[in-house]
Structure 1
Amino acid sequence: MRLQTAGEVVMNPGPEPWSAEQLAGHLREADAWMAFMTDRIDAAVLAQAPRLRTVACALKGFDNFDLAACERAGVQVSFVPDLLTEPTAELAIGLAIAAGRHVLEGDRRVRAGYAGWRPALYGTGLHGSTVAVVGLGAVGRAIVDRLQGFGCAEILGVDPQHRDARTRAVGLRDALQRAHYVLLAVPLTEASRHLIDEMALAAARPGQLLVNVGRGSVVDERAVLAALQSDLLGAYAADVFEMEDWNLPDRPSAIPEALLRHPRTVFTPHLGSAVREVRLAIEQRAADNLLAALAGRAVADLATPA
């Protein structure tokens, strides 16, 4: 209703994204676009949108959006920088516990017919463990906030640009060698793509639990699969996947089937911000940005090319 005060609103009524042809048809007459995780923007998309002035992203990361191409086309891009932080950090802890304590397998066994306690499914807890947080931006620091109450033996911080006094600053290799848990909260950049690859995993502590809530392509999923199959990794939990990083031309089209079937994995479908009140707040903030741009006012959350 708020957006309708600025003009005609064309809305996708379902959860599946428009096809490329449908999107192009809508963009021909569009002055503004509210974009979501399934959307991507490059020069080819912009060429189909001659009237487009602003793109308001209802998300935090904008690596699927070619900001330089948008700048050349005179299109402003805004995003929502902070509202996703707390729920994403909360989910990271949930995934770590689920992976370490065999929650999925335990659930399956109970549903298959529970006869009472048996000495099985012994796992790893956060209490007394060394935990590494890779990426100490807003989400990484929020993960550290939550780890404070678990009695971890030590929290390691891996980030060349940021520090957190509650963590011991180490390099990635050191963290991989020492940590029982490694939690990834890293944005996707040229430098961070496949940060966790075969070489990195070769240095990992045996039985390590790896959790990814940053971006899928920070991890080489096939290297992770090989590490699970060789029992180097104890478990892999993720809310993000390589196939979602739409702006990478060589991204895989699907999650490796063998990774999906592996018993020591826990996956959620990009639920980091999937809290009802949070999603509503994100969309309202994106609407604020869109309406400000259309009215010629300053946009608080502009994204700029690096």
Structure 2
Amino acid sequence: MRNSEFSRHRRLRTSQTMRRFVRETDLKVDDLVYPLFIVEGESIKNEVRSMPGVFQISLDYLDEEIEELVSLGIPSILLFGVPKEKDEVGSGAYDPNGIVQQAIRHIKNKTDQLLIIADTCLCEYTSHGHCGVIEHQDVDNDKSLPLHVKTAVTQVEAGADIIAPSNMMDGFVSEIRKGLDEAGFENIPIMSYAVKYASAFYGPFRDAADSTPQFGDRKTYQMDPANRLEALREASSDIEEGTDFLIVKPALSYMDIIRDVKNQHPVPVVAYNVSGEYSMVKAASLNGWIDEKAIVLEKFISMKRAGADIIITYFAKDVAKWLQDN
């Protein structure tokens, strides 16, 4: 008997084909960015202790990685460097022959099918593990900016397609944009870590990048997780200064921020599915407590539904394979 007092929403859930037909949000391999950790030396492929399936690799293992990524259709990589030597000012970051610059040139000689995003920061290269020049036990904002500009320029000179400054210094987008333009790189986009929280989810990354601060923390330059409106101010500043993408980092605990940023700014929004988010899922999966594939795909659909256009993730290879299977 027909009952007109309630709606029949289940009509659109009657089969897998019907559900796919009316699906509002899609996840594609084109949405993915895979981070790579490049170390100095030879014949190095070290699994990161706290990140199963993620490796630090030397340049001689890059070809193997590139071939796999291209075969999976992953369109982009985010490069981090792990140098042998560090100093107070992170000079390895802006060395034209630094490890990331070498990796960029190597990849560009190998393929034109990967967009190379260069993480532009000093923390992996400084002996103190902070993202800039230290004065009076804190990072000096304005003294740090020229070093980030030098880093960005050398990365683009090596062949980087996109610059991704992650240092959270005030004015970093403005100064890098000006530096790139003056060097003749007006067409190189900036993917700013516009909204980067001082998060407990970064722990495993510091194993991978060898970037743990040797004193204090990063709370004077990364954001307080309790603040929402501040995130909108940060994103607006970066838009005004010339960024082309906005990153929200981390992703999982900050879906509301992703949506707020997407609603306010008509540029591509990037969710960074960070190391702690990755490691928790991997640990639970290895213990047989969860269905890893189902959990990861649900998380990523949630990020896309929240407003993310692009997802930086250590799961990129797995997701690409799962999407092929589907």
Report the TM-score when normalising by structure 2: 0.29
- Of Structure 1 and Structure 2, which has the larger fraction of its residues in helix? 2
Report the TM-score when normalising by structure 1: 0.31
More relative contact order in 1 or in 2 (CA 8 Å, sep 6+)? 1
